[in-house]
């Protein structure tokens, strides 16, 4: 049944084999044994190798291979690219020197191992890309092999073995590296006790405190949220949200109206033109020094769990234009 029905089906429909590999790899990647897990990426690679062995006649079109490969590279670059370039601002030259040294060491070690094992060019490329987890080497290696003055059959054979070698060695390239760093590395640096103390000293130099440890948080909130019941005659027949924020700003403070309860109804993210009436409840946010004492003129502070219970988002902001370079926050706000 396997060779007469299942294998021919996947050979005739290679896209189904791809989806089967992804599904099985994802499921295997979710399995855990104690603290050990392969992860989805490694599992998909290994499942792909197994399916390739079980279905030797399965052929994937080269353009499709390249599309998936480029998508993989794009995802990696998109996730780590910004952090990579941001690191140059702090420790640029040491990072460049370390990267160059690592490239040379990895290349030389792989070349020596390939020579000792009598690997051909395809096997060496797969070994290098998998052991060092450098996916981009696959494309570069295939282009180089295609430019060699050898027969087309030899080129095809070398190119076909690259992903197999990559998938097999990728496991040790990830799990093996983690094991060496976690167990062998500390012993080479003087033992676990010395490494632990060095980490404590480094944290002290970097200003690390108990607040930075997992399970702890600072009790100080730079931007608190307070709820007040409007009772000041200044509101008269009603004041717009923009008028309230502008009035507070004219007093040298900056506050924002985040929510309003009017006639029992909660208004989320009120617009600038939303009117606030006496008797309404408003949630104000701002720096602590700006929001303290607002009950003295707006009205008494009240406890309204439903009104105060809403999601807030903490998002990083990156200065992308020269127009804001070197300016203080107050200058940008003005």
What confidence tens digit (pLDDT) does each residue in 135-157 have? 778 888 888 898 888 888 898 88
Does residue 285 sit within a domain? yes
Does residue 294 sit within a domain? yes
- Looking up tokens 């998938």, which residue turns up? 167
Tally of domains within the chain: 1
Q: What is the mean pLDDT of the chain?
A: 84
Does residue 43 sit within a domain? no
Contact 44, 26 (CB under 8 A): yes
What whole-number distance in Å separates Cα of residue 334 and Cα of residue 317? Answer: 18
- The SS3 assignment for 36 reads strand
Does residue 77 sit within a domain? no
Does residue 142 sit within a domain? no
pLDDT score of 57: 79
What whole-number distance in Å separates Cα of residue 241 and Cα of residue 267? Answer: 12
- The SS3 assignment for 189 reads coil
Does residue 305 sit within a domain? yes
Q: What is the CATH number of the domain that holds 312?
A: 3.30.70.1450
Does residue 102 sit within a domain? no
Does residue 309 sit within a domain? yes
What confidence tens digit (pLDDT) does each residue in 217-261 have? 777 788 899 999 999 888 888 999 999 999 988 888 889 999 999
Cross-strand pairs, 202: none
Tokens (6 digits) for 50: 């197994």
Provide the domain limits for residue 244. Answer: 225-333
pLDDT score of 133: 83
Q: Could you tell me the pLDDT band of residue 185, with boundaries at 50, 70 and 90?
A: confident
What confidence tens digit (pLDDT) does each residue in 286-309 have? 888 888 877 788 989 999 999 999
């Amino acid at each position: 049944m396997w060779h007469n029905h299942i294998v021919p089906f996947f050979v005739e429909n290679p896209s189904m084999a791809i989806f089967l590999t992804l599904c099985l790899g994802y499921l295997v990647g979710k399995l855990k044994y104690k603290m050990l897990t392969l992860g989805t990426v490694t599992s998909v690679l290994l499942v792909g190798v197994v399916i390739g062995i079980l279905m030797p006649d399965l052929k994937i079109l080269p353009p499709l291979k390249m599309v998936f490969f480029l998508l993989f590279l794009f995802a990696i670059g998109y996730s780590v690219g910004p952090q990579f370039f941001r690191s140059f601002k702090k420790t640029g030259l040491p990072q460049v020197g370390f990267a160059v040294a690592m490239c040379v060491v990895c290349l030389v070690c792989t070349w020596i191992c390939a020579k000792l094992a009598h690997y051909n060019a395809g096997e060496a490329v797969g070994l290098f890309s998998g052991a060092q987890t450098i996916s981009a080497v696959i494309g570069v290696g295939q282009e180089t092999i295609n430019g060699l003055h050898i027969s087309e059959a030899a080129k095809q054979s070398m190119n076909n073995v690259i992903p197999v070698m990559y998938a097999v060695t990728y496991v040790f390239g990830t799990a093996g590296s983690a094991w060496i760093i976690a167990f062998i590395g500390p012993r080479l640096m003087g033992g676990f006790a010395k490494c632990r103390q060095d980490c404590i000293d480094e944290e002290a130099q970097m200003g690390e405190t108990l607040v930075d440890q997992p399970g702890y948080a600072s009790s100080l909130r730079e931007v608190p949220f307070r709820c007040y019941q409007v009772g000041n005659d200044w509101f008269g027949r009603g004041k717009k949200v923009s008028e309230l924020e502008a009035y507070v700003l004219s007093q040298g403070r900056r506050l924002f109206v985040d929510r309003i309860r009017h006639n029992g109804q909660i208004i989320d993210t009120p617009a600038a033109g939303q009117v606030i009436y006496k008797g309404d409840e408003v949630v104000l946010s701002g720096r602590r020094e700006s929001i303290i004492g607002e009950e003295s003129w707006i009205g008494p502070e009240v406890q309204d769990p439903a009104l105060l219970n809403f999601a807030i988002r903490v998002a990083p902001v990156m200065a992308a234009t020269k127009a804001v370079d070197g300016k203080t926050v107050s200058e940008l706000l003005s």
